[in-house]
Amino acid sequence: MHCATDLGLLVPIPGEPGLLAPVTPTIAAGRTLAPLEQTLAEGRRRLDALTKTFETAEAVYTEARQSGPQSSSVLRGAAEIAETIDAAVGLCKAELLTAQPGGRRPPEILETVVQRNLDLLSRGVSQRTLYQHAVWNHPPTADYIRTVVEAGGNIRTVDEMFDRVIICDRTVAFIPTLSHSPEEALEVRDPHVVRYLANVFECAWARGTLVDPAAGKRPEIVVSELEQSIVRFLVAGHTEEKIARGLGISRRTVAEYISRISRRLGSVSRAQLGYLIATRGLLPEPESDRACPP
């Protein structure tokens, strides 16, 4: 009974208390459903209006992002990478920071960048470059370094180093992508990220060995640091191949160093060599006193 009255199928008879009269279902449905349909129609109109509003906001947002400066962008292809970096370096006004891991650079690359670096120095642009100690084993790279240093550039070498980075006036930086592909690089313009990369560079620079253009051979301290790094890798259980990759030198060079250290200590096996290194106090001391600059 209550269900029928709620749906409007039964209605009171005027003047007849307690009596109900049936209503045609079609009429009852119209009376009951009309308010619901009105509510739904209003909801649809509001939904359509909100959808259009968000579509407009999305279009404005997308246009703003496309027209505004990008904090980073991926460069693909050797030609695009080279052209973009050359343009940024050419616009340098005050400072160029560069880190080049590995033991050697292709002679054709050296021929391309040497004049560019000399031009920057002649314009008063400060240049600081980090290489690994292994560059001393590659005469073309060593000659290039001496040329730049003699012209006023500052170059230091370290035993181990992070990945490649180029920072122009601390406003734009270029780093490899996660794939470490030579055909892909990342151009970074976010000031916070660029500042972080510059601090990483400064930290490595603080522990580097300054290249003296008057020196005609590899500094003895470089030889010592290479041996210490190899000793540290050996004690950590790394293979010759991994040591070579980390220091930017060949596996053959690593083997020669290990052989030299073994002869010096009188070792006849890798296990004995590790024991002698540890017991004779040859492990490098932690560089806790070499704090990174703020």
Answer whether 0.75 is exceeded by the pTM.
no
Of 273 and 157, which is predicted with more confidence?
A: 157
Query: Is 156 in the same domain as 266?
Result: no
- pLDDT score for 289: 45
Tokens 């053959």: give the residue.
Answer: 252
92 shares its domain with 48: no
More confident residue, 294 or 160: 160
The residues, any chain, with a CB within 8 Å of residue 212's CB and separated by 6 or more, are 149, 219
Say how far apart CA 184 and CA 175 lie, in whole Å.
Answer: 9
Mean pLDDT within 148-155: 88
Residue 11, helix vs strand vs coil: strand
Cβ-based neighbours of 58, under 8 Å, separated by 6 or more: none
Whether 133 shows a pLDDT value over 70: the answer reads yes
CATH number of domain containing 274 = 1.10.10.10
- Picking from 25, 40, 65, the residue at the C-terminal end of a domain is 65
Q: Examine residue 285 and state whether it is found in any structural domain, yes or no.
A: no
Amino acid at 171: T
Q: Considering its fold, how many domains does the chain have in total? A: 3
* The two three-digit tokens of residue 76, written as one number: 């693909």
Q: Which of 197, 191, 193, 222 is nearest to 209 (CA)?
A: 222
Query: Does residue 215 form part of some domain?
Result: no
**Residue range 63-88, pLDDT digits in tens:** 765 665 567 888 888 888 888 988 89
Is residue 12 one of the residues assigned to a domain? yes
The more confidently predicted of residues 273 and 117 is 117
248 in any annotated domain: yes
Shared-domain flag, residues 61 and 78: no
47 within a domain of the structure (yes/no): yes
The region of weakest confidence among 42-46, 150-154, 181-185 is 181-185
Q: Is residue 293 part of a domain?
A: no
Task: Let me know: does 75 contact 184? Beta carbons within 8 Å.
Answer: yes
Measured CA to CA, the distance from residue 257 to residue 218 in angstroms comes to 15
Do both 256 and 198 map to the same domain?
A: no
Q: Tell me what pLDDT residue 291 has.
A: 46
Instruction: Indicate whether 47 and 31 sit together in one domain.
Output: yes
pLDDT averaged over the chain? 78
279 band by pLDDT with thresholds 50, 70 and 90: low
> Which one of 22-36, 54-68, 88-102 scores highest in mean pLDDT?
88-102
CA angle 219, 132, 227 (to 5 degrees): 60
Question: Do 113 and 190 belong to one domain?
Answer: yes
**82, 150: one domain:** yes
pLDDT in tens, 197-233: 999 999 889 878 877 656 555 555 555 777 777 777 7
For residue 146, give every residue at least 6 positions away whose Cβ sits within 8 Å of its Cβ, in sequence order, or none.
211, 213
Q: Given pLDDT bands bounded at 50, 70 and 90, which one contains residue 290?
A: very low
φ, ψ of residue 268 in degrees (nearest 5) = -115, 0
Answer yes or no: do 181 and 132 share one domain.
Answer: yes
pLDDT value of position 142: 79
HSE on the CB side for 171, CA within 13 Å? 9
Q: CA 115 → CA 24, 88, 128, 282, distances in Å?
A: 97, 16, 16, 43
Residue 251 domain boundaries: 220-279
Q: What is the pLDDT of residue 54?
A: 83
Residue 286 forms part of a structural domain: no
| Residue type at 247 in one-letter notation | L
Give the CATH number for residue 103.
3.30.870.10
Residues 225 and 263 in one domain: yes
Domain finish residue from 187, 210, 233? 210
The answer to whether residues 224 and 206 belong to one domain is no
Does 289 fall in a domain? Answer: no
**Cα–Cα distance for residue pair 278/165, rounded to 1 Å:** 36
**152: its two tokens:** 């006023």
What's the mean pLDDT in 258-273? 75
Q: CB of 165 within 8 A of CB of 98?
A: yes
Both 90 and 189 in a single domain? yes
CA distance 117 to 123: 10
Of the three residues 65, 85, 117, the one that is the final residue of a domain is: 65
Q: Is 197 found in the same domain as 260?
A: no
Residue 76 backbone phi and psi in degrees, to 5: -125, 135
Helix (H, G, I), strand (E, B) or coil at 182: coil
What mean pLDDT is predicted for residues 140-161?
84
Query: Encoding tokens for residue 186?
Result: 């990342």
